[in-house]
């Protein structure tokens, strides 16, 4: 929504956002509804109205409440996990790097794992592709890279975007977002790209994280201009550089935004139902797209 000149939001933006009281250096526009101290996504605990900081939640979870009622939760309603807040992000990054090393050791893996609709592989000497029953390629291609610059850019994006999202959504919801975004990118590339054209990389999932970041920042009333500029720059590269699967980028971006919207805007009383339903609908759309394309190629 547009703000009137001189409004409080514009005045705060002009002076700069405050830093989270538990994580100095992290700017935030959200404050705890009880103590009014600024809190970042990692510290936000969903409350009946607004968000509270973990310290206030612990201090207010006395008698008369169940053990789960006062348990700190993320903006998406997931319990705040103990330990490393970037655990899933690091695991995903490690899988990508491990597959990249395996490809360096055996380049034939590219022909066995990349996303191709239906084609005859010269390396393998046989017909390959998703339409030939190799549906696993929709997943394996998400972790496959050949060039060092390709994996470097994608892993930087995963690290920058994934960490804050994992803290804000919780591990399970974050993993669902990543995997479904990547699958949506694979599905759209499978549907629209030539069947003999190979595709690989985590870009679809990374674009999904970018779309989710925009939704999350809008939900928390953050300044969207920096992330929108990043999106515009990435879309410019997508449609101007050669050899880029724009289908995977757009598929991941749309899926990530839709999933994130369901995760962070679900009403508290029906949160699990709405979140599960959103993910299930996206998965159903992916399956329908894959089946439709397979029928057209066989």
| Annotation marks residue 11 as catalytic | no
Cβ atoms of residues 181 and 229 within 8 Å: no
Reading the block at residue 216, the tokens are 């999350």
Q: Distance (Å, rounded) from C-alpha 85 to C-alpha 44?
A: 13
Q: Range with the lowest mean pLDDT among 15-19, 91-95, 240-244, 277-281?
A: 15-19
| Annotation marks residue 249 as catalytic | yes
Give the pLDDT mean for 3-28: 58
Q: Other CB atoms closer than 10 Å to residue 75's CB: what's the count?
A: 20
Of 7, 249, 270, 296, catalytic: 249
Q: Distance (Å, rounded) from C-alpha 44 to C-alpha 54?
A: 7
Q: Distance (Å, rounded) from C-alpha 182 to C-alpha 96?
A: 13
Q: Distance (Å, rounded) from C-alpha 166 to C-alpha 7?
A: 32
Q: Distance (Å, rounded) from C-alpha 215 to C-alpha 233?
A: 18
Structure pTM? 0.79
Q: Distance (Å, rounded) from C-alpha 89 to C-alpha 206?
A: 11
The helix-helix angle for 203-219 and 148-169 (nearest 10°) equals: 30
Q: Distance (Å, rounded) from C-alpha 258 to C-alpha 215?
A: 9
Of 46, 121, 141, 203, catalytic: 203
Structure confidence at residue 61 as a pLDDT band (50, 70, 90) = very low
Give per-residue pLDDT as tens, 137-185: 999 999 999 999 999 999 999 999 999 999 899 999 999 999 999 999 9
Give per-residue pLDDT as tens, 68-123: 445 567 788 887 777 888 999 999 999 999 999 999 999 999 999 999 999 887 77
Span(s) in the chain for CATH 1.20.1540.10: 87-297
Q: For the structural domain made of 87-297, what CATH number should be given?
A: 1.20.1540.10
Reading the block at residue 243, the tokens are 């050899």
């Amino acid at each position: 929504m547009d703000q009137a000149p001189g409004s409080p939001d514009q005045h705060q933006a002009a002076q700069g956002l405050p830093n989270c009281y538990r994580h100095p250096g992290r700017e935030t526009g959200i404050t705890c509804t009880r103590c009014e101290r600024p809190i970042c996504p990692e510290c936000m605990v969903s409350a009946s109205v607004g968000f509270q900081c973990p310290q206030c939640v612990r201090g207010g979870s006395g008698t008369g409440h169940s053990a789960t009622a006062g348990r700190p939760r993320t903006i998406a309603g997931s319990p705040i996990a103990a330990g490393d807040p970037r655990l899933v992000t690091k695991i995903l990054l490690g899988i990508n790097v491990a597959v990249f090393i395996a490809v360096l050791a055996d380049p034939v893996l590219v022909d066995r794992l990349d996303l191709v609709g239906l084609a005859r592989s010269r390396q393998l000497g046989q017909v390959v592709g998703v339409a030939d029953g190799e549906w696993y390629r929709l997943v394996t291609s998400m972790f496959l890279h050949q060039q060092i610059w390709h994996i470097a850019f994608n892993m930087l994006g995963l690290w920058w975007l994934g960490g804050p999202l994992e803290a804000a959504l919780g591990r399970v919801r974050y993993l669902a977002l990543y995997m479904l975004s990547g699958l949506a990118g694979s599905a759209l590339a499978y549907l629209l790209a030539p069947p003999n054209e190979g595709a690989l990389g985590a870009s679809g999932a990374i674009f999904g994280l970018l779309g989710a970041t925009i939704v999350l920042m809008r939900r928390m009333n953050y300044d969207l201009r920096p992330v929108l500029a990043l999106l515009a720059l990435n879309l410019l590269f997508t449609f101007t550089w050669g050899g880029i699967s724009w289908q995977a980028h757009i598929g991941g971006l749309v899926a990530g935004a839709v999933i994130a919207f369901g995760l962070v805007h679900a009403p508290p009383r029906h949160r699990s139902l709405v979140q599960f339903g959103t993910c299930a609908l996206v998965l159903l759309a992916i399956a329908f797209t894959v089946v439709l394309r397979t029928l057209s190629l066989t």
